[in-house]
Structure 1
Amino acid sequence: MIQRHTAASSGSGPSFFGRRVWVTGHRGMLGSAMVRSFENENADLLLTARSELDLTDKTAVMSWMRANRPELVFHIGAKVGGIHANSTLPANFLYENLMIQSNVIDGAYQFGVEKLVFVASNCTYPTNAEQPIQEEALLTGPLDDNIRAYAVSKIAGIEMCRAYRKQHGCNFVSIIPPNLYGPGDNYHPQHSHVVAGILRRAHEAKIASAPEFSVWGDGTPRRELLHVDDLASALKYVMLAPTTHDLYNIGSGHDLQISQIATILAEVTGFEGRIVYDTSKPNGTMRKLLDSSRIRSLGWAPRIDEKSGLRGAYADFLSRHPELARNGLASQ
């Protein structure tokens, strides 16, 4: 069953009032944040679970779009995972994302979608890109081998949006975020992203009274973090703004060493032992700081600092995994 969500109207100016807005991947971390962000908008949200609409099935996607006629599309739905998942399942990541993107983007053209915002990834930039990374760095150098397949799929999505803009005049825009964290994250022991993976290991070490927990790599790579609710607000800015570019970085504007992130998460979870670094595991790209001046020029800026955001992420982890929360919220 297609879910529709309508809420009270917000103020004057460009808005989503009465618009049919399709949020793909609405049950994921970012998709859920997008749905939350519409609580003060009188929009007709079109929400389809994977069990109801398989985005890799072109016939099904075209049939759904013909019946529902979305006006605005936030294309968030994708196969995602951390460095372990990407390095061990490259064919899955490449095939599924290419199929999903092709169907949604072409469908948006076929059925006259007014504007589409496609969510890509910072791994699309070359590993040796000059820091902070500007949008023009795309396709100027080699990619990280560990996440190459996923990166290629996302580059294809960006280029597909560009091609439809050029050939058909479609208002399709891509965005590139940094590492996301926040409510709804995936805390899988092997398939999670950096914040969720370290947070879970720190918590498990705490409740086991372990003397230490391990972090992949040597701790020196730097990562820019952005709370998922901040990204949701930025995507709405991009959707409503008269955008003149086809690609926007959306970041916090600063980065932290993995060792710093691990230290903050140890404090947040209440773990008091040692953090050790497993140098037999890959570091990944050493730095991926985004130049977000384009989105800042539209009037957007992040509002959630890492410390409070990570505390909120830990509370979310405990609420979603009560079987792991033997010590409750004592460290909050």
Structure 2
Amino acid sequence: MNDQLDAEGPGTSIGITPLPAMAGDGWVNCAQGHGHWGRFWAAGLVPVYRDPDGETYVLLHHRGSDTDHGDTWSLLGGARDSSESSAQAALREAVEESDFDPARTRVESVVRDDHGGWAYDTVIVSVDQRMLVHPVEGESLALSWVPLSEVPALNLHPGFAASWPRVRAALDVVRNGERPAAKSAPPGITLPAHPVTGAQVIAREVLDHGAGFTRRELVTFDDGTRAVYEEHVRSQHATDRLLDAYVGRAVGARVPLSHALSPREVYTDYMQGEQSVAGPASLADLAMRGVTETRDGVLLGLHQALTATHGFTPSHLRRGGPAKSDPCR
């Protein structure tokens, strides 16, 4: 352990060794016991266009018959990478799956479908023309600008169908030319922005904590997301938190992702349905309890083998982005 790091005060960035970005391709369980594609959640894009006559259209894609819930209509989108915001992921996936041009888009709002430990973010973007968009071969059967009133009549993907009422309500706000009022932090809110999304903290709630923490708080960001802020007594404990998150997600366990703020400070993405009032046990602790009845338990055992038995540390992770031949891309 580097004791010099423990002497650093909160808020400093000295000594942080950033972990590499990780591709989000992979399955993860939510708190409801469902399997979802996207280790760091997933995001879909809803381009919306209103013509001069007042008709509103949204761009949807017709899924191929050999895909999950094939022959249904849904959104361009897919798994988020660890270093991406929802908007960045949705736009990247749209470009990968079609010849959609993101240059003339404006992000309007994000609608979150939270399953507890996993969420799907629908990113609504406005466009200034109803451009012709073609799918990339093998990604979908077709792409079409669908009048807003006709969407419910389509054979929708079950997840999209379930979230459509909330997405439609958000689209109505966009159609009416309204934009959410900018939120500002009350006096005394001094925690840093989220290191991935750049969202600002607008609310804080003090949480109970054990002897290993100086403080813990549940924070709310101006994009509606939340995280648990932790200031650890020792920098090694903060490193352990980051390692738990990255190795756990790498093997598909349902664990939140943590982000370094300083050698002793961490944001851990808050999972609805998870405990926030007490410091969650580490993956190693859970694995030592022999939790093998569930899919997560098996993966926790793998985590224990990597870390406790084989001494896996962040220094063993390959730095930088994936090679061009990486099959995960």
Shorter-normalised TM-score: what interval?
Answer: under 0.3
Q: Would you tell me which structure has more helix in proportion to its own residues?
A: 1
Q: Which one has a larger percent strand, Structure 1 or Structure 2? A: 2
TM-score scaled by length of structure 1: 0.26
Structure with the greater alpha carbon radius of gyration: 2
